[in-house]
Amino acid sequence: MTNIIETNQLTRRFNGLTAVDKLDITVESGEIFGLLGPNGAGKTTTISMLCTILKPTGGSAKVNGFDIVKQAMQVRKSIGIVFQDPSIDDRLTGRENLYMHANLYGVPSSEQKERIDRVLKLVELDDRADDLMRTYSGGMRRRLELGRGLIHYPKVLFLDEPTVGLDPQTRDHIWKYIRELKEAHDITVVLTTHYMDEADRLSDRIGIMDHGKIIALDTPSKLKETLEGDVITIKANKIDEFTALLAEKLGLTQSVIVDGGLEITVHGGKSVMPRIMEVAAANKFFIESILLREPNLEDVFLHYTGRNIRSDNTRELHGFSAIQRRKIR
């Protein structure tokens, strides 16, 4: 496998704030690479630099073998981008938007019609292609943007939060398209997301990003394995004392308190649960609820950062305002 993207100490500062901090990542040709992290982690900044929209303040990166600063034009020809916010002309029809894109990216006129018809079919918009895009729903616009990113046969497709503000069915649909597009066009996909399930279901490899740094990078299953087992969530009174007690009696030291609940990572959670109940009963602790589950990426994030990705309020606000923006238009 060859590396289609390589970054070397890639850094971006904004007036004293380091949005991306000495990033070293490699993306292999043909994979779906997910950048996962809360809002403000530096994902969009990273993508913006790789897409040559933003100049790095330090370090360097290559996309498809081209330097993102010195060979920006070649980089631009090699990539397709679907931005976080809508970027279509809604006064034009879907087909006109695609023609425009084909022309901007120098697709030969003789091939334009065929490519556009194929892409429209792929994202199932062929029956609406000649309607003005202002009559499209949010999901349809998103699909057209996805298709548009492929018209010029890019080597890498960047998707910045591809499903923000979309309803669950549409998200499911979009995921399906992304996988199909990747198969059909044999391209590399780099996506950013703060949705755990999105990263988990789509990506071959995931880089977990926080405060401008990659704090973990592996396949979703390997990342989950690093947690070594299951997660038991307990709500009980005097949670701090109880945590200390469990560490002392049962050796359960891999624990964090999140939102007043205790989360313990253990091997063989099924057999540990009854022991916990016994300790609680013997020492007069009252357990409100106890829950056992397989670890997910959320736990991985928690494990590496000590924070819950969902406790980030701005994210919800962002999703909501994104929906509003789409509705207004």
Partner 1 sequence: MTELRGLYTLWFREVKRYLRDRTRVISSFVQPILWLVIFGAGFGMHFAIPGVNYQQYLFPGIIGQTLLFTSMFMGISVIWDREFGFMKEILVAPISRFSLFLGKMFGDSTDALIQGLIVFALGAVLGISIDPIAFLASIPIMLLITFGLVSIGLIIASFMGSLESFGAIQTFINLPLFFLSGALFPINGPLAQGVPGWMQAASTFNPLTYGVDALRSVLLGGSYVGLQPLWVNIAVICGFDVVMIAVGTWAFSRMK
> Is the CB of 33 or the CB of 66 nearer to partner 1?
66
182, 189 in Cβ contact below 8 A? yes
Judged by CB under 8 A, which stretch of 19-27, 97-105, 123-131, 316-324 contacts partner 1?
A: 97-105
How does 28-43 read in b/e, with b if 16+ C-beta sit within 10 Å?
eeebbbbbbbbbbbbb
Give the pairing of strands 213-218 and 66-67.
unpaired
- CA gap 194, 302 in Å, rounded: 13
Six-digit token string for 275? 């022991």
Query: How many residues belong to the site for partner 1 (CB under 8 A)?
Result: 28
Q: Which is nearer to partner 1, 270 or 329 (CB)?
A: 329
The residue assigned the tokens 């989950």 is: 224
Of the residues 105, 153, 175, 304, which one makes contact with partner 1 according to CB under 8 A: 105
Smallest separation, CB 81 to partner 1 (Å): 6
Q: Would you put residue 81 in left (φ > 0), alpha (ψ -120 to 50) or beta?
A: beta
In the list 16, 17, 106, 168, the residue contacting partner 1 (rule: CB under 8 A) is: 106
Residue 34, classed as helix, strand or coil, is: strand
Q: Is 111 in the site for partner 1 (CB under 8 A)?
A: no
CB of 310 to partner 1, least distance (A): 27
Per the CB < 8 A criterion, the answer to whether 182 and 174 are in contact is no
End-to-end, the C-alpha distance of the chain in Å comes to 43
Binding piece for partner 1, criterion CB under 8 A, among 96-104, 269-277, 293-301, 308-316: 96-104
- Round to whole Å and give the CA distance between 100 and 146: 15
Q: Which residue, 107 or 231, is less far from partner 1 as judged by CB?
A: 107
Site string for partner 1, 23-62 (x = CB under 8 A): ----------------------------xxxx--------
- Contact code string over 150-179 relative to partner 1, x by CB under 8 A: ------------------------------
259-297 CB burial, b ≥16 within 10 A, e <16: eebbbbbbeebeebbeebeebbeeeebeeeebeeeebbb
| Binder of partner 1 out of 3, 9, 14, 103 (CB under 8 A) | 103
Eight-class DSSP state of 257 = E
Interface residue with partner 1, options 22, 31, 67, 77 (CB under 8 A) = 77
Token pair for 311: 């406790």
* Least distance CB 92 / partner 1 (angstroms): 7
Q: In angstroms, how far is CA 270 from the centroid of its own chain?
A: 31
Answer for which of 101, 173, 182, 303 binds partner 1 (CB under 8 A) is 101
Stretches 21-29, 99-107, 162-170, 188-196: which one binds partner 1 (CB under 8 A)? 99-107
Query: According to the binding rule CB under 8 A, does residue 99 interact with partner 1?
Result: yes
318 belongs to the binding site for partner 1 (CB under 8 A) = no
Identify residue 70 by its one-letter amino acid code.
K
Binding site for partner 1 (CB under 8 A): 51-54, 73-74, 76-77, 81, 83, 85-92, 96, 99-101, 103-106, 109, 329
